[in-house]
Copies of this chain bind each other. A is one copy, B any other.
Amino acid sequence: MRYQRSRLMQERLADNRQRILLSARKLVSEGGFRAAQIAAVATDAGLSTGSIYRYFPSKAELFVEVLGEAVRHEIDILRALVQAPGSAAQRLQRAVESFAGRAFDGPFLAYAFIAEPADQEVDAERIRARRAFGDVFETVLHQGIASGEFPPQNADVAAACIVGAFTEALIGPIGHARGSRQDRGEVIRTISRFCLQAVSGRQEVPAAPGKARRRRA
């Protein structure tokens, strides 16, 4: 006797959930966790505060998901690049440039990813995220070391250095790259060369410019 939940309804529900996630993401990226109170998220999403709790059990869970969703997407892309054919150096370069490019375009992820959140649960998710990124880079480093492309090195620490390097360069406050005060391609190539030289110990000729096209996030 249950009424069939109409397709429209289902869409609206999924829609709301997504809108909440987007609003939360937007607010954090614009004003940090400070600016992302439940009430603000609700208003931005066009809902009441109570409705947020229909979709997420708590503020912490909401932001864990915001972070997790962004990270998962990023990791998927990185893993694909890292598993593609090519030398370790090429694959590392592609991964760094791809990541850096998106971070340049939409500083949100990297921002949330650096920020100290107000909540322990979110903090834990942030740690998982950083470790996940590091793991991807560590994989290529190990492959490069094994194949003799890269000299032996502490891949663990080096991977952390890579993550830190472009994080800081792109979104950290001294990242002069902020906005578009510097040429996108130039910044990204600098970062990728930095990382490649760092792990290979060889002078790297940056990939032909113009390949990494600007793409909106």
Contact = CB atoms under 8 A, between A and B. Distances in A.
Interface of A: 32-34, 114-118, 120, 123, 126-127, 130-131, 133-134, 151, 153-154, 156-169, 172-177, 182, 186-187, 190-191, 193-195, 197-204
Contacts of A123: 32
11 contacts: A127-B173, A130-B168, A153-B193, A154-B187, A156-B182, A160-B175, A161-B194, A164-B168, A195-B198, A198-B198, A202-B202
A115 to B, nearest CB: 4
B157 A163 contact: no
Contacts of A191: 157, 161
Given A158-B194, A197-B198, 8 more contacts: A151-B203, A153-B190, A154-B182, A157-B177, A160-B165, A161-B191, A164-B167, A165-B198
A193 B155 CA distance: 12
Contact of A176 (B116, B156, B172, B204): B156
A14 to B, nearest CB: 15
A201 B202 contact: yes
A118 B157 CA distance: 30
A173 B126 contact: yes
Contacts of A194: 153, 157-158, 161, 198-199
Nearest to A135: B174
Contacts of A114: 114, 116
Contacts of A201: 197, 202-204
